[in-house]
């Protein structure tokens, strides 16, 4: 083994000990470039540490994305502004995520198919890209969580990771009556997040009408906490999904 190879092996082993995965991966290529371009040693060190920082950022982003459990991968890249009636100023303000950093809430309500779930999921992906932690739940997921942990009285413990997220997204409220367990789970999340974390809720119903699908006393307490520091966006118009289907855009032609 040459002296240079021995040095590379020693550096590789040191990177493993120090858990510098991305420095280890870039070491040889950067060293060749540095030698060819006669870099100052400090410049080579800067490039290697920058590769490590960027690699860790990418890894952290992907870890947060997996943990978020966002359902369909919808982002603002596929958002069609022409089909949305949301004012541009409102769209830009929400996409700034300043409201998340202030631990405020968001309620997006309106008819089915008007982009509520797409918008809130895209906000989730955007928040992850900005270094924030996100969790997504369907309302019935919260009900299942409560039922699973009611047996050993560990509901509060089970919800602790939920309320440590910067943004909790709860999707599709109002399509069906909410079970007692789901209503309890929803209330517990909103109560625990109150003035500490942000909740984004998509619903077919305006918050003032939630007593139509859950017990009135619980809905009153839930809405009180949800709306105290909340932005409300009302979507309007006909279903984008139905419009795409009737215009032939809802499917991929057979044989394509």
Domain positions in the chain are: 3-62, 81-245
Percent of the chain with pLDDT over 90: 54
Fold of 81-245: Rossmann fold (3.40.50)
| Confidence (pTM) | 0.81
How far is residue 191's CA from residue 231's CA, in Å, rounded to a whole number?
17
Q: What is the pLDDT of residues 107-150, one digit of tens each?
A: 999 888 888 899 999 999 999 999 999 999 888 888 888 888 88
Q: What is the pLDDT of residue 242?
A: 37
Q: What average pLDDT does the segment 235-245 reach? A: 55
Q: Does residue 1 have a pLDDT over 50?
A: yes
* Nearest residue to 140 via CA among 239, 71, 232, 223: 71
How far is residue 15's CA from residue 48's CA, in Å, rounded to a whole number?
11
Q: Does residue 53 have a pLDDT over 90?
A: yes
Q: What is the pLDDT of residue 253?
A: 47
Q: What is the pLDDT of residue 237?
A: 61
Q: What is the pLDDT of residue 246?
A: 39
In the block, residue with structure tokens 């019935």:
140
């Amino acid at each position: 083994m040459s002296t240079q190879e021995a040095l590379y092996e020693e550096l590789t082993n040191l990177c493993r000990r120090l858990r510098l995965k991305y420095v280890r991966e870039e070491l040889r290529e950067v060293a060749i470039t540095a030698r060819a371009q006669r870099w100052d040693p400090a410049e080579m060190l800067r490039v290697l540490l920058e590769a490590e920082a960027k690699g860790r950022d990418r890894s952290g982003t992907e870890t947060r994305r997996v943990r978020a459990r966002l359902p369909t991968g919808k982002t603002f890249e596929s958002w069609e502004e022409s089909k949305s009636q949301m004012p541009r100023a409102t769209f830009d303000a929400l996409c700034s995520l300043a409201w998340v950093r202030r631990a405020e809430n968001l309620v997006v309500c309106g008819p089915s198919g008007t982009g509520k779930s797409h918008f809130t999921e895209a906000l989730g992906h955007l928040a992850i890209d900005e270094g924030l932690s996100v969790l997504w739940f369907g309302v019935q997921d919260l009900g299942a969580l409560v039922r699973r942990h009611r047996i050993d009285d560990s509901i509060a413990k089970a919800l602790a990771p939920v309320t440590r997220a910067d943004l909790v997204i709860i999707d599709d409220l109002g399509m069906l009556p909410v079970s007692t367990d789901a209503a309890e789970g929803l209330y517990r999340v909103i109560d625990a997040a109150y003035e500490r974390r942000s909740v984004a809720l998509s619903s077919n119903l305006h918050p003032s009408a939630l007593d139509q699908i859950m017990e009135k006393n619980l809905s009153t307490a839930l809405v009180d906490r949800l709306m105290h520091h909340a932005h409300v966006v009302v979507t309007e118009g006909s279903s984008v999904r139905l419009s795409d289907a009737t215009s032939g855009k809802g499917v991929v032609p057979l044989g394509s």
